Amino acid sequence: MSVDFKAEIVINTSNSLQKEKSFLEQKLTALRRKRTDGERVLDALKTKLSQTKEVNCKMNATLQVAENKVIESQRQLNYLQQSMEQSSKVVKSLKSDIAKLEEERANQNGCFQQKLDQLAERFIEIRTDFEDARLSQRAEDTLLEITNIKRISCEYRTEKKDMAISLENLRLDTGNNN
């Protein structure tokens, strides 16, 4: 082999290695960018989780007020039941509905807490997993779950309002019957 041929091989190999190095540096830069983007998404999701927890606390406080009102309404219903025998069927129906709502509330709170725990676990997993497709899918799933939780919470509040209206109507009906 001649020296020129060997030098050409070395030059070609050097050029090839430089191209590979450049390609790998670009790939590393892209991966770092994806990681930064992933961390931003994670921070946003953490903020959303914090907001969701805050909403949950407020909902629990509202729920406590509603439970106190339900307890007071129950006392009034018991009094009305003793004084008016014709309204006993309505009172029994309302007691059954209240018990169902309490059970549903307990189930929903349990599910809500479980979902929040699952979301927290997912947020931790997302931090260690920077694959773009999985990260995007998990973020979408999390947003869907948060939307679903908000919908369930709204439905529960609507049911509570309906029960309060029913109780008020019963109070008005029984007051008019006197």
> How confident is the model over 19-48, as a mean pLDDT?
94
Structural domain includes residue 69? yes
Domain count, the chain: 1
**Which pair of tokens denotes residue 74?**
């129950």
Domain range enclosing 43:
36-177
**pLDDT tens digits for 93-147?**
878 887 887 888 778 777 777 877 787 787 777 666 655 666 677 778 888 888 8
Strands (E), 39-97: none
User: Does residue 11 fall inside a structural domain?
Assistant: no
Instruction: Please report whether residue 12 resides in a domain.
Output: no
pLDDT greater than 90 at residue 25: yes
Model pTM?
Answer: 0.31
- Report the alpha-carbon distance of residue 136 to residue 132 in Å, rounded: 6
Separation CA 98–CA 173 (nearest Å): 19
Rounded mean pLDDT of 163-172? 84
For residue 24, tell me if it sits in a domain.
no
Structure tokens at 15: 């050029």
User: Is 29 within the bounds of a domain?
Assistant: no
Task: For the beta carbon of residue 139, count every other beta carbon within 10 angstroms.
Answer: 19
Is residue 112 situated within a structural domain?
yes
Q: Is residue 47 part of a domain?
A: yes
In a domain, 28, yes or no: no
Mean pLDDT of 26-45: 94
